[in-house]
Amino acid sequence: MRDVPPPSRRTRLRTSLRAAPTRLKDRSPSAPGFWRSPLRGTWFTAVLGTVLLFGMTLLFVTGLLSYAAYNPDLAPVNDKTPDKGLLGFYLFSWPTDPHWLYRLTQGLHVTVGITLIPVLLAKLWSVLPKLFALPPARSLGHALERLSLLLLVGGALFVFATGVLNVQLEYVFPGSFYPLHFYGAWVFFAAFVAHAALKLPQTVRVLRAGGLRERLRTHEGHGPDDEGEDGLAAPRPAEPTVSRRGALGLVGGGSLLLFATTAGQSFDGWPRATALFAPHGGAEPGRGPGAFQVNKTARSVGVGPDRTGESWRLVVAGPGRTLRLTRADLLGLAQHTADLPIACVEGWSTSDQAWSGVRLRDLAALAGYEDDAPAVLVESLQLRGSFRKAALRDNQVRDPRSLLALRVNGADLTPDHGYPARVIVPAAPGVLNTKWVSRLTFGEL
Amino acid sequence: MKRVHASTKQVTAPLKRVTALVRRWYGEGPLHLLLLLASFALALYAGVRLLADDWVMVAVWFVGAALLHDLVLVPVYAAADRAVTALVGGRDGGRRERTMYVRVPAALSLLLLLVWYPLITRQVPRYERSTALPADVFLTRWLLVTAALFAGSALWFAVRAWSAARSASRSGREEGAGRG
């Protein structure tokens, strides 16, 4: 070891003065030298982008399925987006089989969405230098692509924010959740498809170049396959504090933590206790046969005992025929049992509960439809909340498991589960399983 | 054969000219242009419906989400990360590997807060009324999970430090025992 004399104060001052203009330029985020992380690079972005390519596609498809599950084309009461136009091109009759269908698709939609948040944040971090890149546009094509990226990033954050807030019942967004999330998703997806198509060749090239292990071990973004001109890799990277493997591990760990503390809200029993932060995780409400998850309590929607007691009547209406039935009348009709879950648009669901009551198609027969039961308009006693009225399609009414339930798990319905009577239909979203039913109108929506 | 070849040439020649023209004026290939135009058409179709109700606030949310993320959230967490690196990693960066023991639990804890802040900070009065579930559990759980993350990280650090010290003493005064 040889001693090197420390530079004199004067020399140091001179060097730093000479470097000053460079430093000032480097302080602007438009300067490539501003961005120092050695992790950034085409490969890192390509890995995250590939995860999002599959993840976002799954979210979009399950989102479209959830939209179809409401049967918005059946009746105006089901349709929160009447001006959808061509965006409803794919709508179809939502099936009743398998009975856990909506539980699966919507559980995936919300759980995968929450799980992808760290990946989205990491992806946005990895491409942040490009936001500040100068000149603003090299060409008309470049300008259009940057405009498209605003729709992509704004759209992704908008859709994730509305979704995450909605499942927590924090309705601070400007308007009704349904149109905001639905149209926002279409704006996002339009930009997403273009972005994926434009970046796919480069992504495939970088990922197929191989050397996965080597790349995970190293720190620097630069590699033989990094195309320098894309401006992602830092030209003067700082000393690494973490390997690529470590960084991807942190992103994956964040996803795993969110998944592990959310997924349990789709199951009864011990798994629900593991969902520490999910809105319907933790404990079941109350005790006894009615101790399973509630979306809206009777109190929260203005249904009190004064209207659900002896004075309650169910109106069953058909063409030229209107019946008024007491709860005892209903219990006197043929009783059937069906094991069905409650599955909410908010992503949580219960396991199968043993419901018993009168088949909807038997009530349709009472209303005058002996053979082929038609669609039905269901009305609730509730004073507040959306879907106080909801329509069910004929395939839902005809399913032998579709009930006007009076009892659950061997006991009368609790007030919060819809006493005196509620609808339960296989594979339907929770809001279409109307509680505190006051009227069924068959054939006219 | 020759004739066929000539006819394809006749077709491709104008196509090439169009491509060259688009490249010159647009800066990218014609497919790029078509793809973006199709994308904008769909985005516009959905966008006018998105903005139909309260267009000012929806636009504020849409653009604001991007701005809030890019110009507030990222600079804040990047600055926090630098502060951690400077504090824990040593002045000359000689202990950089230590930063992960603070970074990881902090990042995971803040991630949970970012996603679930309405429930954790009890912003939602309707939660308890609607679901009949207690609303005060989330803050406690978050604090406990945060404590567990930091405790686990500290334990891991201690184990690593202990095993490093043991292997160092075992290899005696052998030189070059430092990290690779």
Residue A40, burial from CB neighbour count under 10 angstroms (0-12, 13-18, 19+): buried
Domain C-terminal end among A233, A260, A287: A260
pLDDT along chain A (445 residues), means of 10: 55 63 71 87 94 98 98 96 97 97 98 98 95 90 96 98 97 96 98 97 87 65 51 85 90 98 96 96 91 96 94 95 96 98 98 98 96 96 91 98 98 97 98 98 91
Pairing mode, if any, of strands A376-380 and A321-325? unpaired
Residue A247: its pLDDT value, please? 93
Contact (CB<8Å) A170/B124: yes
Looking at the structure, tell me whether residues A255 and A310 fall in a common domain. Answer: no
Token pair for residue B67? Answer: 């701005």
CA dist list (Å): A332 to A190, A322, A360, A438: 55, 18, 15, 18
Looking at the structure, tell me whether residues A310 and A238 fall in a common domain. Answer: no
Domain C-terminal end among A232, A260, A288: A260
Average confidence score pLDDT of chain B: 88
Task: Examine residue A9 and state whether it is found in any structural domain, yes or no.
Answer: no
Among A168, A257, A285, the residue with its CB nearest the CB of B119 is A168
Pairing mode, if any, of strands A411-412 and A403-408? antiparallel
Task: Examine residue A308 and state whether it is found in any structural domain, yes or no.
Answer: yes
Backbone φ, ψ for residue A183 (5° rounding): -70, -35
Consecutive H or E run containing A76? none
Looking at the structure, tell me whether residues A134 and A69 fall in a common domain. Answer: yes
Cβ neighbours of B63 in A, within 8 Å: 150, 154
Q: What is the SS3 string spanning A192-241? A: HHHHHHHHHHHHHHHHHCCCHHHHHHCCCCCCCCCCHHHCCCCCCCCCCC
- Strand ranges, E, within A283-436: 314-318, 321-325, 336-340, 353-359, 376-380, 389-392, 403-408, 411-412, 422-424
Task: Examine residue A24 and state whether it is found in any structural domain, yes or no.
Answer: no
Contact (CB<8Å) A175/B63: no
Task: Examine residue A249 and state whether it is found in any structural domain, yes or no.
Answer: yes
Token pair for residue B16? Answer: 């090439």
Looking at the structure, tell me whether residues A234 and A120 fall in a common domain. Answer: yes
Number of domains in chain A: 2
Residue B85: its pLDDT value, please? 87
How far is it, in rounded angstroms, from Cα B100 to Cα B78?
Answer: 14
Residue A6: its pLDDT value, please? 57
Looking at the structure, tell me whether residues A50 and A134 fall in a common domain. Answer: yes
Residue B116: its pLDDT value, please? 98
Contact (CB<8Å) A254/B107: yes
Domain C-terminal end among A208, A238, A260: A260
Token pair for residue A15? Answer: 């060097």
The residue of chain B with its CA nearest to that of A83 is B49
Looking at the structure, tell me whether residues A235 and A330 fall in a common domain. Answer: no
pLDDT in tens, B38-97: 999 999 999 999 999 999 999 999 999 999 999 999 999 999 998 998 888 776 666 777
Residue A5: its pLDDT value, please? 55
Task: Examine residue A27 and state whether it is found in any structural domain, yes or no.
Answer: no
Domains in chain B: boundaries:
1-50
Identify the residue among B25, B40, B48, B50 best suited for mutation to test binding to A, counting A beta carbons within 10 A and taking the highest. Answer: B50
ipTM score of complex = 0.90
Among B54, B63, B103, the residue with its CB nearest the CB of A175 is B54
Contact (CB<8Å) B118/A293: no
Among B35, B69, B89, the residue with its CB nearest the CB of A194 is B35
Looking at the structure, tell me whether residues A214 and A97 fall in a common domain. Answer: yes
Concatenated DSSP letters for A95-143?
Answer: P--STTHHHHHHHHHHHHHHHTHHHHHHHHHHTHHHHT-SSS-SSHHHH
CATH number for position A339: 3.90.420.10
Range of the domain at A323: 299-442
Looking at the structure, tell me whether residues A236 and A328 fall in a common domain. Answer: no
Identify whether the C-beta of residue A374 lies closer than 8 Å to the C-beta of residue A443: yes
Looking at the structure, tell me whether residues A75 and A168 fall in a common domain. Answer: yes
Contact (CB<8Å) B141/A276: yes
CA dist list (Å): B132 to A87, A148, A270, A344: 37, 44, 19, 16
- Where do we find the tokens 């964040």? A254
Residue B1: its pLDDT value, please? 42
Identify the residue among B25, B31, B57, B61 best suited for mutation to test binding to A, counting A beta carbons within 10 A and taking the highest. Answer: B61
Identify whether the C-beta of residue A280 lies closer than 8 Å to the C-beta of residue B133: yes
Residue B5: its pLDDT value, please? 56
Concatenated DSSP letters for B59-85?
Answer: HHHHHHHHHHIIIIIHHHHHHHHHHHH
- Chain B nearest-CA distance from A280, in A, is 8
A185: Cα within 13 Å, side-chain hemisphere: 24
